[in-house]
Amino acid sequence: MELYVKPINRMQFTILAENSETIENIKHKIYEHLNLPIDEQKLIYKNKLLENTMRVGDYNLIQESTLYLIPILIGGNGGNCSFGHSFEFNALNQEEKKEGLPSKKAPRWRRYSAGINFEGKCMNTLCEAYQHRVLVKEKFGTFIIHLKIKELPCPLCKINIVDADNVMFNYCKWKIYGATADSGKIIKYQDSSNDFYKWVSFNGNSKTIWQFLKIEVTKI
């Protein structure tokens, strides 16, 4: 049968498999395709981590089933693999979503725009926003979070902020696609903010360790 393999942040590809094959053998085929070592692969099917010693048939995989591939470490292709180490960021739990209206007394570093706005702290001692939580306007696009949070300039001094760990949306549509580092659970959903005068964010105390996280933001 044909199985689809969907690596995080890479193009999907197809492998051939038999019900009697072990998951470890499937990983060998993935290694031949991506040069990603077997012990650096996590395979997820229907939010279940596949064990090396189990067989394809044990998981009731059928023709054109999709396996999600999550690399455990940076590796493969001579070290040029684009996957990153695990990192902490907001859990982005839909049940902990919150909304609010802009404050007329908000300082300059807390002003947001339509699209996505990243939240972190400015640590430039010469900046008016020093040690304050600031909002960085990034508007629309596709954002690979473990890379993006390293290059977010303070809206005032333009020095990169630290501890960027949350987002705020305004008048846009967004898609969340990621995998947690502990269980490899796939998080995938989409939502929107249709009120131009309201912002949408998440409980700042709710964090998780991500293996990978991508957010796509488009206009309403």
pLDDT of 7-20, one tens digit each?
876 789 999 999 99
Phi, psi of 204 (to 5 degrees): -65, -20
CATH of the structural domain 2-73, one choice from 1.20.120.450, 1.10.150.120, 3.40.50.720, 3.10.20.90: 3.10.20.90
Looking at per-residue confidence, does 71 or 39 come out higher?
39
Token digits for 127?
Answer: 């900046």
> What integer pLDDT is reported at residue 85 of this predicted model?
63
Looking at per-residue confidence, does 139 or 48 come out higher?
139
Name the band, by pLDDT with cuts 50, 70 and 90, for residue 77.
very low
Looking at per-residue confidence, does 173 or 102 come out higher?
173
C-alpha 59 chain-centroid distance: 26
**Burial grade of 123 (CB within 10 A; 0-12, 13-18, 19 or more):** middle
Tokens 């900046």, located at residue: 127
The overall average pLDDT reported for the chain is 90
Token digits for 116?
Answer: 């996505």
Name the band, by pLDDT with cuts 50, 70 and 90, for residue 86.
confident
The answer on pLDDT for 78 being more than 70 is no
> What integer pLDDT is reported at residue 154 of this predicted model?
98
Q: Virtual CA dihedral for 82, 117, 89, 150, nearest 10 degrees? A: 50
Looking at residues 189-208, what average pLDDT do you find? 94
- In single-letter form, the type of residue at position 167 comes to V
Which residues are CB-neighbours of 50 under 8 A, at least 6 positions away?
23, 26, 43, 44, 59, 67
The answer on pLDDT for 200 being more than 60 is yes
Domain locations in the chain as residue ranges = 2-73, 87-219
Looking at residues 193-217, what average pLDDT do you find? 93
Determine which of 181-185, 192-196, 200-204 has the lowest per-residue pLDDT on average: 181-185
Looking at residues 57-86, what average pLDDT do you find? 69
The answer on pLDDT for 164 being more than 80 is yes
Q: Virtual CA dihedral for 162, 164, 165, 167, nearest 10 degrees? A: 160
The answer on pLDDT for 104 being more than 50 is yes
Name the band, by pLDDT with cuts 50, 70 and 90, for residue 72.
low
Positive/negative CA dihedral, 120, 124, 125, 127: negative
Looking at residues 163-182, what average pLDDT do you find? 93
Which residues does residue 191 pair with via DSSP β-bridges, in sequence order? Answer: 174
Strands of the chain, DSSP E: 2-7, 13-16, 41-45, 48-49, 66-71, 87-90, 97-100, 115-121, 133-139, 141-144, 162-170, 172-180, 186-193, 199-202, 207-219
Token digits for 184?
Answer: 């490899």
